[in-house]
Amino acid sequence: MEHHPATAWLSDAAGAAQQQGAGNLLRVVLIVMFLGCALTAWFVLRGYKRKDD
């Protein structure tokens, strides 16, 4: 197993995205964005449920 630095992996991923178009990259970005928004909303809104008696 060869050791590849993180920059080499990133450049390989960018090269693959250019060959395949932006469809897969856009799909991943949208999924991560929706998951991040859902987790942020859950984290913020769970504080309103607690009672400080």
Q: What is the pLDDT of residues 11-40, one digit of tens each?
A: 776 666 566 667 888 999 999 999 999 999
Q: Is residue 44 part of a domain?
A: yes
Domain membership of residue 10 (yes or no) is yes
CA dist 13 and 28 (Å) reads 12
Question: For the purposes of burial, counting CB atoms within 10 Å of the CB of 25, is it exposed (0-12), middle (13-18) or buried (19 or more)?
Answer: middle
Question: What pLDDT score does 34 carry?
Answer: 97
Residue 39 inside a domain? The answer is: yes
In the predicted structure, residue 10 carries a pLDDT above the cut 80: no
Whether 1 maps to a domain, the answer reads no
Does 53 reside within a domain? no
Specify if 28 maps to a domain. Answer: yes
Domain annotation covers residue 34? yes
Q: Which helix (H) or strand (E) holds 6?
A: helix 6-20
Domain that holds residue 28: 6-48
Domains in the chain: how many in total?
1
Record the pTM.
Answer: 0.49
| pLDDT classification of 47: cutoffs 50, 70, 90 | confident
Which 3 state secondary structure label does DSSP give 22? Answer: coil
Residue length of the chain: 53
